[in-house]
Amino acid sequence: MSQNKITGRAYVVGDNIDTDQIIPAKHLVYNTHSPEERKLYGKFAMSGVPEEKSGLPKGGIKFIREGEYQSEFDIIVGGKNFGCGSSREHAPLALQVAGVKAVVAQTYARIFYRNSVDGGFVMPLESVDNIYESFSTGDQVEIDLASNQIKNVSTGKSFELRPLGDAADIINAGGLFAYARKIGMISQKAGANV
């Protein structure tokens, strides 16, 4: 997760995207550690977003195409309070399985943010302003972590991101366990080859 540039196509959603929209509760039964069942989290990622709001502004844009488990979109652009609701870690996991490289939102609900960082699933980036209306689903996006900028390549406009702050050490290590090993809090050996 320590690369400096992230590029890809945007999938745009609005404010208050809750975890029931990211992965509806009925799907929380698949084994997260079985390679085959894990794909189902990708298949149903973002499937709880109401039809008329899917990919905004007119809706109806599927995040995952029928029969697929990975999305043609790489970066989710949202607004305020992304990931609110339940503590299900299946939410950032579903986005990771779907192939999402980063989420950009103005603010996050704290458990989703924490799960994304500690589990090393997706990079949760914060935009200084609420920018989702300046992006359309399918736009080419370029994120530069060195200069904290997100550029909508399709329109040529750039927006400022907040620095990662406290979370940077854990994100750069690759998650909570990797970080704890790095600072010597848990042994290097545990689980190293599992």
Partner 1 sequence: MGMTITEKILAGHSGRDKVVPGENVWVNVDILMTHDVTGPGTISIFRKEFGEDARIWDRDKVVVIPDHYIYTADQHAQRNVVFLRDFVKQQQIDNFYDVGTPDYKGVCHVALPEEGYTRPGEVLFGTDSHTCTAGAFGEFATGIGNTDAAFILGTGKLWVKVPQTMRFVFDGEMPDYLMAKDLILRIIGDIGVDGASYAAMEFAGDAVHSLNIEERMTLCNMVIEAGGKNGIISPDEETLKYVKARTNKPFDPVQNDSDARFAFEKKYDAAKMVPLVAKPHSPENVDTAENLSDVKVDRVYIGSCTGGKLTDFKAAARILNGRKAAVDTFIVPATTDVAKGLRDTKIDGKSLHQIFEEAGCRIGNASCGACLGGPDDTFGRLNGEEVCLSTTNRNFPGRMGSKKSQVYLASPLTAAATAVNGTITDPRKYIA
Q: Closest distance between partner 1 and the C-beta of residue 151, in Å?
A: 27
Q: Which residue has the tokens 């979370």?
A: 167
Contacts to partner 1 from residues 1-60, by CB under 8 A: 16, 18, 20-21, 24-26, 28-33, 48-51
Q: Does 191 bind partner 1 (CB under 8 A)?
A: yes
Task: Provide Rg for the chain, Cα atoms.
Answer: 16
- Quick one: how far is CA 68 from the chain centroid? 18
User: Cβ neighbours of residue 168 under 8 Å, at least 6 residues apart?
Assistant: none
Q: Does 177 bind partner 1 (CB under 8 A)?
A: yes
Q: What b/e string do you get for 55-90 counting C-beta neighbours within 10 Å, with b at 16 or more?
A: bbeeeebbbbeeeebbbebbbbbbbbbbbbbbebbb
Q: Does 128 bind partner 1 (CB under 8 A)?
A: no
Q: Does 126 bind partner 1 (CB under 8 A)?
A: no
Total residues contacting partner 1 (rule CB under 8 A)?
A: 44
Contacts to partner 1 from residues 82-121, by CB under 8 A: 84-90, 107, 109-111, 114-115, 118-119
* Burial of 183: CB neighbours in 10 Å, binned 0-12, 13-18, 19+: exposed
- Quick one: how far is CA 50 from the chain centroid? 19
Which is closer to partner 1, CB of 34 or CB of 155? 34
Contacts to partner 1 from residues 51-70, by CB under 8 A: 51
Among the candidate windows 58-66, 80-88, 122-130, 150-158, which touches partner 1 by CB under 8 A? 80-88
How far is residue 141's CA from residue 135's CA, in Å, rounded to a whole number? 9
Residues that bind partner 1 (CB under 8 A): 16, 18, 20-21, 24-26, 28-33, 48-51, 80-81, 84-90, 107, 109-111, 114-115, 118-119, 166, 175-177, 180, 185-186, 190-191, 194
